[in-house]
Structure 1
């Protein structure tokens, strides 16, 4: 008799191990090619990149953001807590060493790591072919999180945490590795809380599926608690635990990515289709029923909650999706082997001869196509040298308002300038944030807000309402312009 609470082994006739099929090779090429082509969609860096580079520079110089006035934006009336400090410092160091090419190369490697982690999580419960196909769909659903931001590193760590939970659940073990991963994650990005939630989902599902029982279940239940404690043990202390809640409560008011996705959002549709496939697999097989159903439910909540969590939904769903594809594809052992107790059939979690060649093929396609994109694409700044030079010669006391597409770059390229507002939504009270949004959108009374703030220069996006409104005001004149932006000034 076992007394550790782990699921007892069940007996089953041995199943011959199969080599990868042609479908597996095609799935490998698809996974690598889909990911690489998605990387090629963007030819300019994420607008947040420059903000993170500037923050990293300040952190390296000893700035700790513990008091007002804020060193980066003039209207900030709340202190900034750098919950992404390790990632921002690393980004600054990489940029110093190799510029935006180095940043893009790091992004490519992180996307590769994300694909590998998703594939690893999927292989806990599915064969190679289904896992590779699930990885391709997951990468498509998570594509919006591939920007040059700490968020990408957070999604990679989420995939690793999900993989750790599913592998531990399959074997009835305790996923202790999640605790140090959470500590690292809490220094990189505030999304570590999603990892706690994903772990609880697998924990509850595993308990209902009787993957863990008795004393082992108690030990597994301690992992989320210890993970929160690990986050609080980072240099930020309890602020690392509390700050993500403050950010989410404020950012949703003004930031589009923190708001609910529209029904036509293509990445949301990808995740919804993946949820359907995962549930169809549950119909075909009772194995791991509760864990899979709860994973689908968690993915639906995340995908429908806000735009920025569609990517996390795709990653949380990946193992259940792979399981469902395995069932629908016929890889599940048939009636006699579909053991409701959870016996592991077929190649799930077991190495398949030649499988590593499929992994290498997918990685090779991604690195070849993605590497060519990095090497041949000029990832330059959003603003031309002409406009940048005009910003540099503004009077020292100029009060500068900058469009969101360029404000991070201004903070980084012109560190002596403090734009009125930047992209850190959490450092502004609601009245300040809403007033500035009215100004940026040139809503009724915008000129009165400009007078209240004493704005004397505006770097405006030529396609936004504010630029058109400034063109209709005789007091404002264009100091410099390029195809995307105009710098407006007034006495």
Structure 2
């Protein structure tokens, strides 16, 4: 038995190391620059941040979301289940302690952890240089998920789960560490169900490739099932399993990020390019072909399914992408090999080499320096100006207000005595309620009657949206305050 374990852990068809010691450094430079520069793209916080901070504050104060009146939005007609409660409480505590700087530092560290987990997953299939280049592409493809929200922590745990499954398949062992990872993930973000599904995909591929046999295969098959059972052993119980499906069923009807991505979406194009490279790797070499083939199909399906899952597809694809990148300088023809030798197919090389640690350090250092300097030179201001905020505060206490989605979370956090008609939690509204409100925000025919029915007295409208233009033509509405992005309209 011991001899079998040793033979499985030995690298199959090891990747030939590049002769130039500069290649890992170049790859590390590429991975660090891509991640660090992407961190600097946004200078304003994610619009969802404020809502998560508000919910975290409520949870820390003992608020329990039960049936009845919702504490955050007046149109909510379904109960809110805080399926991301651990993340929200953590974000609230960090913000209370260190303010927006603390939130941005937390985001930077999570992005760094995401890159490290992706790199570990890639190293399960190839050497350091291809793994670092693949990490750079993967981080670009996953960049849309880097907002200050629980989803980013979910992506880190997804990448860790990918790494654990791939490392286990290479070594022929049972990925027991996936179980506690999933248990933690259940309390962090609803994407944990995708992690379980991914485990099943990699289990099937690994069995077809002969990575696990006999009792070991039976034990590996238990990991996804046990993960689901332990996920139910959290404060939410069965709701932890049901809530992700309930959220997705409603959000797909109204939320843009739950819609199918446009073909010109830049991160989708990067994932498509990565898919092509992974397919080339499939055509050029044989190790773990079933695992890589099924992974490529699953990742591509996730990427084109909806905007929200492009990042998921990029992370799932990473190990197969790394294998494909490793095949690029090679030729499938025996003529490309030196005389008397046949070309070596690309395979896993999980043992760390001394010269790759500087490359890892360079990549991490660039992320920290570029991301840290961005935090130091930006204030990540609120979406609404102080003038408009003061005007909101001066509204009568019984005002009925509608707030654009880009600012509603901030209004709920900064003006806690206000309860907008609707907020960003798509799952707490029935379809008729959600679609009627969307029609109002788009100023479709009948929007005036909707405003009268709801008794609206104030609207914080995005200056670039149809509702703002429609309000300009209504003499009963006047501007109380405005800034470059929003106008506060009040009913006379």
Q: Shorter-chain TM-score: which interval? A: over 0.9
Distance 1:466 1:182 in 2: 43
Deviation, 1:21, is 2.4
Distance 1:229 1:12 in 2: 35
Query: Residues 37-74 of structure 1: CA distance to partner in whole angstroms, max 9, x if unpaired?
Result: 11111010000000000000000011121222100000
Correspondence for 2:384: 383
Correspondence for 1:403: 404
1:7/1:213 contact within 8 Å kept: no
Query: Residues 375-410 of structure 1: CA distance to partner in whole angstroms, max 9, x if unpaired?
Result: 101101000111111111111110010000000000
Structural mapping, 1:169-180, within 5 Å: 169-180=169-180
SS in 2 for 1:479: strand
- Closer, same or farther in 2 for the Cα pair 1:462/1:351, shift >3 Å? same
SS in 2 for 1:173: coil
TM-score scaled by length of structure 1: 0.95
Correspondence for 1:220: 220
2:11/2:350 contact within 8 Å kept: no
Deviation, 1:241, is 0.3
Structural mapping, 1:235-314, within 5 Å: 235-314=235-314
Correspondence for 1:473: 474
Flag as ranges the 4+ runs of structure 1 deviating above 3 A: 1-20, 329-339
Distance 1:191 1:197 in 2: 10
- Closer, same or farther in 2 for the Cα pair 1:235/1:10, shift >3 Å? closer
Deviation, 1:10, is 7.5
2:146/2:152 contact within 8 Å kept: yes
2:8/2:171 contact within 8 Å kept: no
Q: Which moved more, 1:255-264 or 1:12-21?
A: 12-21
SS in 2 for 1:406: helix
Q: Which moved more, 1:9-18 or 1:417-426?
A: 9-18
Deviation, 1:426, is 0.3
- Is residue 98 from structure 1 mapped to residue 106 from structure 2 by the alignment? no
Distance 2:286 2:243 in 1: 40
SS in 1 for 2:269: helix
- Closer, same or farther in 2 for the Cα pair 1:178/1:6, shift >3 Å? farther
Correspondence for 2:487: 486
Distance 1:150 1:71 in 2: 21
Deviation, 1:160, is 0.2
- Closer, same or farther in 2 for the Cα pair 1:209/1:70, shift >3 Å? same
CA RMSD of aligned residues (A): 2.2
TM-score scaled by length of structure 2: 0.95
SS in 1 for 2:100: helix
1:124/1:349 contact within 8 Å kept: yes
Query: Residues 239-282 of structure 1: CA distance to partner in whole angstroms, max 9, x if unpaired?
Result: 00000000000000000000100111111111011011001011
2:8/2:170 contact within 8 Å kept: no
1:170/1:211 contact within 8 Å kept: yes
Correspondence for 1:424: 425
- Closer, same or farther in 2 for the Cα pair 1:214/1:326, shift >3 Å? same
Structural mapping, 1:19-168, within 5 Å: 21-168=21-168
SS in 1 for 2:406: coil
Distance 1:14 1:152 in 2: 33
1:57/1:92 contact within 8 Å kept: yes
1:5/1:213 contact within 8 Å kept: no
Correspondence for 1:447: 448
SS in 2 for 1:204: helix
Deviation, 1:13, is 9.9
